[in-house]
Amino acid sequence: MKNYSINKTPSEVQLELAERLRKIRKDKKISQSELADKSGISLGSIKRFEHTGEISLASLLRLAHLFDRLDDFDAVFKTKEDLKEIEKLFNR
């Protein structure tokens, strides 16, 4: 019997990230080969990421930077207290 959860698994998140990158790449009409050249990441790594979601953190951050999405990682591992402090700045 399969366990169901509202929380995503790491594998699901990996595949969703890969799909989002693939969509951005295609929307910008960039081939995997061009992306590899522009990012300095091997073509094999790009293909593997888009197919399986597997990629190193350093490579993922390079891709995010290339597409001006590095700020998307700002909230990762922030504590609830950090986020509350940020909220206070906007509620002044």
Task: State the pLDDT confidence band at 2, using cuts at 50, 70 and 90.
Answer: low
Tokens standing for 58? 């350093």
- Given this model, what pLDDT does residue 89 score? 67
Task: State the pLDDT confidence band at 86, using cuts at 50, 70 and 90.
Answer: low
Q: If you average pLDDT over residues 72-85, what whole number do you get?
A: 80
Q: Per-residue pLDDT for 88 more than 80?
A: no
Measure CA 51 to chain center: 14
Distance between CA atoms of residues 47 and 71, nearest Å: 24
Tokens standing for 49? 């990421």
Q: If you average pLDDT over residues 60-79, what whole number do you get?
A: 92
Instruction: Quote the mean pLDDT of the chain.
Output: 90
Distance between CA atoms of residues 2 and 56, nearest Å: 30
CA distances 63 to 36, 38, 39, 79, 84, Å, are 9, 9, 6, 25, 29
Contact 48, 15 (CB under 8 A): no
- Given this model, what pLDDT does residue 91 score? 75
- Given this model, what pLDDT does residue 3 score? 66
